[in-house]
Chain A
Amino acid sequence: MSLLQTTAINVFYEIANLARGQVTAHISPESWWENMQQGMVWDLDDFTVNQIGHPYQGNNYFNAGRANGLSFYESAALTAFGSATWEFFGETNHASLNDFINTTLGGITLGEVFHRVGWLIRDTGKTGKGRLWSEIGATAVDPITGINRFMSGDSSRVTEKPSDLVPASIGGVVSAGALWRGSQSSAFTGKGTPFIESDFYYGDTNVGRSRTPYDAFWLRMRFGGGSAVSEARLRGRLYGQPIGRGAVNFSVIQTYNYNTNDAYSTGSQAIDAGIGTTLDLSSRTKFWVLGWGGLTVLGAVDSLPLGVTEKPQEQEPKAGQGVSEGPRYYDYGPGSDFGGLARLTHDGRDIALFFYVGRQIYSLDGVRANHFLQQARVDLLFPLHGSIGIGTSGEYFDRRSYYQDPAHTIKTYRYPQLRAYLTWRHR
């Protein structure tokens, strides 16, 4: 059933592309055979399509598995199946290596998070209108599970939630405010840009022995602040093991990253190993810290060839809608990453946050360069009344691109960012 639904999802996307008038949707047995003969290539699609669109499509395949009772890892394999069949048979474009990786790994990460968030929204103990709206809300987040439940009648049945989809704890902060950016050469000029950001903590990656993937994850999303979606960061625990007497916890974490700012636009899929601990500074004050390092399976970073100072305006494709002809102004390659997150909390409320991530991407496709990207951020938060508080943060972006030209050119870009915001906390 899950394989059939995965194929149905591909048919749905194909019909949607046909309806949108995409030239690449005119598939035929000839295009399938040509794609199979050609094999996989790098594609030239838009950054957002590749780094957000494909992972979202992959999340649908993944949840075709989860909705039909498959485990996390079984659904992961199903995602690879859906992704590969789409690449070869869903479009006339040649099958794309970067799409296959982004759809599969990004789809697994987004898929399991959406599936779990859907089960948080869904209130299976209720009946009537309240129940219906909770099912509709969950369907908006995880459409495949939702549609399956409406079709089978599970959406109105009163049952217990599956125990493995109930988190040990949840917490989060939503902040809204303004953001001021500096530039390579000047301090903070110009007016502030509005933004909304949410940090959501599902379970605790620093606690307990875990063999249930994504029983703990951290999700950060920022809308506005320079672009529609300026940051999306997901870190889901695949494996957790206390070390020694349990004071320190080892974890394996799968991550999805998307970040666009003035210094760089980057997106990546990575697997990290992390060490974390929580220190009780007093009965009410805790210091939570997690450090990690790992492999970036595939990363993308915007990049201009040497001698080009500005990205040219995109032209309407001559070959028709949906056909990307390039040039593409970002690079693809594997790499490594490392970083840390520290939280100082008082009565469960964040008082100070520190976040750092460094990422290296070795370009295999695009401009020949080795890119090193860093981001450091400090937040200070103050409670005002009840769940409401205020906060301020300072952030610093640094980018170095080491070009593999005869002159070994190194280009750097760095800029600071300041933020002031109101917060609303959920516990």
Chain B
Amino acid sequence: MNRIGLCVVLACLSAAPVLAQDTPPPPTPPSKLWIVAGGASGTLRGHCQECGAEFPFRHGGAVVGNGGYRVNSRMDVGGDVFWMQWNKESGRIRATAINAVAQFRPWGSKGFFVKGGAGMAFVRNWVQTIGPNPDNQKALSVVFGGGWEFKPKGPLGLQLFAMQHVGALGDLQTANGPIPEVSANFWSLGAAIVIR
């Protein structure tokens, strides 16, 4: 190879990475997936319309998860799962709430969000049961709350949240007879990983 040929080859080789750097990579379409998984500290308080009982606050760990569809940069819709277990002197109770939810960030670039939805709750109760097996009950469920999401534009983020789940049971079946019109409020304070 003569000197001129060598210069051309070297020039091409040296230009190649420069050209690659100048051409912007094709934009990756934003993912439509919305996943949230985390844990929380939960507090529960029951209420009945007419029984006159004072229900205490009870505490326990909770697991939360969301999965769904990213509508746009400010809006996600999907499902919400909330699981909490707490212990009483006479046994334990587990509640699982499954809701359809919408999450909205009023400022797309900032992390503040509000969330709300409705669905069903399932309560599995080992306390004061009529027979030896736990009582399973279904309830109307509502959820709402808000929080702050760090790195809301990235594919991986972290959110801190405060949520309230409400479960309207109707009659709570116990060994001492049904307690009418029972509803339960679950407050949770936690953190979760966000994948988009």
Contact = CB atoms under 8 A, between A and B. Distances in A.
Q: Do A and B come from one complex?
A: yes
B142 A364 contact: no
Interface string A297-316: 11000000000000000000
Contacts of B180: 368
A252 to B, nearest CB: 12
- B interface bracket (residues with beta carbon within 8 Å of A): 20 to 34
Interface of A: 2-3, 37-42, 71, 73-74, 76-78, 80-81, 84, 97, 100-101, 104, 297-298, 333-334, 363-365, 368
Interface of B: 45, 47, 49, 71-72, 74-75, 77, 102-104, 106, 114-116, 118, 139-140, 142, 144, 146, 164, 166, 168-171, 180-181, 183, 185, 187
B102 A41 contact: no
A377 to B, nearest CB: 30
B114 A80 contact: yes
A37 B73 CA distance: 34
A76 B115 CA distance: 10
Secondary structure type dominating chain A contacts: helix
A73 B75 contact: yes
Contacts of A100: 142, 144
A219 to B, nearest CB: 24
B142 A40 contact: yes
B77 A80 contact: no
Given A80-B114, A81-B116, A84-B144, A39 B75 contact: no
Given A39-B47, A364-B140, A73 B77 contact: yes
A40 B72 CA distance: 31
B102 A364 contact: no
Contacts of A42: 49, 168, 181, 183
A364 B170 contact: yes
23 contacts: A39-B164, A39-B166, A40-B166, A41-B47, A42-B49, A42-B181, A73-B71, A73-B75, A73-B102, A74-B106, A77-B75, A80-B102, A80-B114, A81-B104, A84-B116, A101-B118, A101-B142, A334-B140, A364-B139, A364-B181, A365-B49, A365-B170, A368-B171
A41 B144 contact: no
Given A81-B146, A97-B168, A368-B170, 15 more contacts: A3-B106, A40-B166, A40-B185, A73-B104, A77-B103, A77-B104, A80-B116, A80-B144, A81-B114, A101-B118, A297-B118, A298-B140, A334-B140, A365-B49, A365-B170
A78 B47 contact: no
Residue from B77, B166, B168 with most neighbouring chain A CB atoms (10 Å): B168
Nearest to A1: B106
A107 to B, nearest CB: 12
Contacts of A39: 45, 47, 164, 166, 183, 185, 187
A40 B166 CA distance: 7
A81 B118 CA distance: 14
A78 B171 CA distance: 32
Nearest to B117: A80
A71 B164 contact: no
Contacts of B106: 2-3, 74, 78
A363 B170 CA distance: 8
Contacts of A368: 170-171, 180
Contact of B166 (A97, A334, A365): A97
B117 to A, nearest CB: 8
A41 B144 CA distance: 15
Contacts of A298: 140
Contacts of B116: 77, 80-81, 84, 104
Given A97-B166, A100-B142, A77 B115 contact: yes
A76 B102 contact: yes
A220 B182 CA distance: 36
A39 B185 CA distance: 6
B115 to A, nearest CB: 7
8 closest cross-chain pairs (CB), A and B: A39-B185, A80-B116, A77-B104, A364-B170, A40-B166, A81-B114, A84-B144, A77-B102
A104 B102 CA distance: 12
A365 B181 contact: yes
Contacts of B187: 39
A295 to B, nearest CB: 10
A73 B114 CA distance: 12
A298 B139 CA distance: 12
A74 B77 CA distance: 10
B177 to A, nearest CB: 13
A41 B75 contact: no
A275 B77 CA distance: 24
A170 to B, nearest CB: 28
B91 to A, nearest CB: 23
Nearest to A84: B144
